[in-house]
Structure 1
Amino acid sequence: MKKYLLSFALACMSLTSFAQADYEKIMSEKIAKIETCKTPEDFQALGNDFQRIGSKESTQWLPQYYAAFSQIQKGRIMMRNGNMQALDGVAAEAEKYLGMAQNLAGADNAEIHLLQKMAYSLRMMVNPQQRFMTDGARAAEELNKAEKLDPYNPRVALIKAEDVYFTPEQYGGSKTKGVEMFKDALAKFNAFKPKTVLDPNWGKAEAEYFLSLPAEKTK
């Protein structure tokens, strides 16, 4: 009987290990696709993939995190293309997945708060003058939470640099100061090591891009 129970326990452990390896393989493949997505449709499809993974791996927060991240990246492309009126719906989708991720990961997760900041920023861009004091204030609050929880997080530094770089000078922005902040972000990226191969590790290429721009484009 003891031999049977031992064999059964070993079989269960093997199945668990196999399932975990399969999950990590699928997630790694999908995360790698983030760098190849170029259009809102690309990110929508990728977000759907992460959402399907999350529905199967109901105890894992990262699939829901990446589903939200895909929606936010979709929204940022739409914003650059001038499609502002659709951003509320995109932000709402991102916030739905972030709520699921936070329920699993807990409230003290800097990466989730940072994406919540980015979702509020998308909402603000629908009408910046009207929404600066509401969605803009919420975005700043989420960014502050993320920074307090993880002051050395390079993605926090990256988004702070973006905010300064793209904000008009009359409202306190500065491309010159933004470039210096991108340098700080890149230094943090160079020192950063994610906890696991699946944990958030995006953003370094963006910091490098801004630092590669000719000086006349950053003035």
Structure 2
Amino acid sequence: MKKTVLTFAILIIVVTSSIAEIINPYEKAMKAQLALLDSAQTIQEYQAVANSFERIAQKESNEWLPLYYAAYSYINIGFDKSLTLDQKDTYFNKAEELLKKAETLSANNSEITALRGYAVMAKLAADPASRGQSLSPVAMQLFGKAIQQNGKNPRALYLMAQMEYGMAQFFGSGTEKACSMAKKSVFLYENESIEGINPYWGAEMAKEMTTKCK
């Protein structure tokens, strides 16, 4: 009798797991690509992941996260030092296009707004001498909006801290405000409850930034 009950229980677990995979192939595909995104280092690896996320986005036309992660992948490509300025801009522009699509699916989304700001900040970093004056306010506005949309979004706060720190260095002023924001972002990262395939990146970068603060 015990053996029969155990066999039945195992069967239930197997069937339930199989049904879960059939019911949610989208999340399964996303998790597989997120694992590759986490390990990506080269342009080719990021491009392959971006392509996969875009294919998922085409299939799951009501989901914003595939577009978000494809955009994030393109931003990472754009930071590659081997690229020319025009090449960098091509990737940053692609990211911005995808994020505009994502916003039509999820309005007032702090994560999307923060990543839009990150794309602008990346463009600025690619040519700070000629773009600082025009793009700094745009990036700051987007990060501020993202924080307003969700004050507990660690990515929005960390990215704003990065901008504040860069501006403080440029103008030769104190970095206390930037460092305070960076430390708060680390606290938020440590207390963030990651659900499923929602955004989670940036914790290590935020911690690294706080090492610059006294």
TM-score by length of 1: 0.78
2:199 corresponds in structure 1 to 200
Q: Provide the C-alpha distance between the structure 1 equivalents of 2:66 and 2:173, rounded to a whole number of angstroms.
A: 34
| Displacement over 3 Å in runs of 4+ | 16-20, 81-85, 164-168, 172-181, 209-213
Q: 1:142 to 1:188 in 2, by over 3 A?
A: same
2:49 corresponds in structure 1 to 46
1:36 corresponds in structure 2 to 39
Q: 1:82 to 1:56 in 2, by over 3 A?
A: closer
Counterpart of 2:88, as a letter, is L
TM-score by length of 2: 0.79
* Deviation for aligned residue 1:121: 1.5
Residue pair 2:144, 2:160 contacting (<8 A) in 1 also: no
1:97 corresponds in structure 2 to 98
* Deviation for aligned residue 1:25: 0.8
Q: 1:56 to 1:41 in 2, by over 3 A?
A: same
**Residue in structure 2 matching 1:22, options 10, 25, 44:** 25
Identity over aligned pairs, percent: 28
Residue pair 2:78, 2:89 contacting (<8 A) in 1 also: no
Cα RMSD between the aligned structures? 2.6
Alignment of 1:133-172 (within 5 A): 133-167=133-167, 169-171=169-171
Residue segments in structure 2 that go unaligned for 5+ positions in a row: 1-18
Counterpart of 1:86, as a letter, is Q
Moved more, 44-53 or 203-212: 203-212
- The number of equivalent residue pairs is 197
Q: Provide the C-alpha distance between the structure 2 equivalents of 1:91 and 1:26, rounded to a whole number of angstroms.
A: 25
Residue pair 1:161, 1:181 contacting (<8 A) in 2 also: yes
* Deviation for aligned residue 1:37: 1.1
Q: 1:205 to 1:103 in 2, by over 3 A?
A: same
